[in-house]
Amino acid sequence: MVGRSIRYGEAFKRQLVDELERGKYDSLEAARRAYGIRGKTTVSKWVRRYGREDLLPKIVRIQSLKERDELAEARKRIRELFETQPAIQDSPQPKLEPVRGDIEFRRIRLEQDGRALLDNINLTVGQGEIVALIGPNGAGKTTFFNCITGIYPPTKGDVAIITTGGKRKLLKGLKPNHVTQQGMARTFQNIRLFQNMTVLENVMIGRHCRMSAGIPGAIFRNPATVKEEEKVVEDSYRMLEKIGLEQFVNEYAKNLPYGAQRRLEIARAMATEPSILLLDEPAAGMNARETNELDDLIVRIRNQEKISILLIEHDMKLVMSLSDRIYVVDYGKKIAEGTALEIKANPAVIKAYLGEELDA
């Protein structure tokens, strides 16, 4: 305690204030560290005690000027960096267009811990088709979606888009964001929105993969970047109009009714300009009215946007009314494919859903 009293004596305090006045320190924090003072407000109290309040704005001003100079220097260095690399500064990132055509999933196999979660599944979706993938709980439907969109890399098999000219564009091995760039977008079984962002902002995020502005544009805000961002807002609002959510444009996603949140996920996926849309149980938790509205929406997307749709759904009424063709999986294997009428009468499908009749 004696040492502490001597250390913070009157002479000590006056010396510190005098050094601040002479400009030895450019901030109160620097003076505090130099003298080993722990209390954050102690130095400013001493300055006021000796009637030198005029020093405080001076010190703050010096600190602000220093920060300003440091920021200006950082900006100068960034400009010099890009001026020495004009190809980066002047050339925007190429805009990736989605690949359109038939989608082919050939011999998709996924193994984990020596067990086959998916076993050589073959599936095709023609351009403009609505195809359903159904099966009992745990059959591997969502795992299939995760596998073909790059979340789980398949152990074997190919995912390809076959263009009208017969060219195959392979998607196997691509990361999820690159799969989206190639034209395959999805929704999720459990809603995955940005809950604390507005409805419009959620859709704008979907437009990111179609933007061409690079790092220089984001930093320097050139006219091309500003114009592109304005177009993103306009395109996102138009998408909300198509999906029927424009009345919620500035509402937080978390405040939307459940059915509207489901449609917002579809709007965000649609904003990526997909050639094929993967819908994972979009009617889950919806009431009858919301399900009917979803039925109309899916048909409208196919007819107006010319987008292929692959649908996972447990609502058999919705599946049978929408689907051009249906695939059925059970325990990771495809057990049937065909039209709605063919699937209804297929013994393997009936067995998978209802089980076998035991002999008495």
* Res. 257: pLDDT tops 70: yes
Start-end of CATH 3.40.50.300 domains in the chain: 102-354
Hey, is 257 helix, strand or coil? coil
275, 242 in Cβ contact below 8 A? no
Query: What span, in angstroms and rounded, lies between the C-alpha atoms of 22 and 104?
Result: 77
Hey, is 339 helix, strand or coil? coil
Comparing 46 with 207, the larger pLDDT belongs to 207
**Residue 90: what pLDDT?**
42
C-alpha distance from residue 327 to each of 162, 199, 337, 340, 355 (Å): 20, 34, 4, 10, 18
**Residue 223: what pLDDT?**
83
Partners of 333 in the beta sheet?
330
Comparing 115 with 47, the larger pLDDT belongs to 115
210, 96 in Cβ contact below 8 A? yes
* Res. 306: pLDDT tops 50: yes
* Res. 244: pLDDT tops 60: yes
Query: What span, in angstroms and rounded, lies between the C-alpha atoms of 267 and 228?
Result: 20
To 5 degrees, how large is the angle CA 308–CA 313–CA 318? Answer: 80
* Res. 265: pLDDT tops 60: yes
**Residue 25: what pLDDT?**
66
Chain centroid offset of residue 59 CA: 45
Query: What span, in angstroms and rounded, lies between the C-alpha atoms of 349 and 345?
Result: 8
350, 359 in Cβ contact below 8 A? no
Q: How high is the mean pLDDT of the chain?
A: 81
> How many of the other CB atoms lie within 10 Å of CB of 272?
21
**Residue 298: what pLDDT?**
95
The CATH H-level superfamily of 102-354 is: P-loop containing nucleotide triphosphate hydrolases (3.40.50.300)
Comparing 233 with 17, the larger pLDDT belongs to 233
* Res. 358: pLDDT tops 80: no
Query: What span, in angstroms and rounded, lies between the C-alpha atoms of 302 and 270?
Result: 11
Report phi then psi at 64, rounded to 5: -65, -40
Reported as a pLDDT band with limits 50, 70 and 90, residue 341 is very high
* Res. 288: pLDDT tops 80: yes
Mean pLDDT of 212-232: 79
To 5 degrees, how large is the angle CA 90–CA 175–CA 101? Answer: 85
C-alpha distance from residue 182 to each of 34, 56, 98, 209, 213 (Å): 58, 59, 5, 10, 18
**Residue 276: what pLDDT?**
92
Mean pLDDT of 156-175: 82
The answer for residues whose C-beta is within 8 angstroms of residue 79's C-beta and 6 or more apart is none
* Res. 70: pLDDT tops 70: no
Reported as a pLDDT band with limits 50, 70 and 90, residue 291 is very high
Instruction: Write the pLDDT tens digit of every residue in 90-134.
Output: 445 555 566 667 889 999 999 988 889 999 999 999 989 999 999
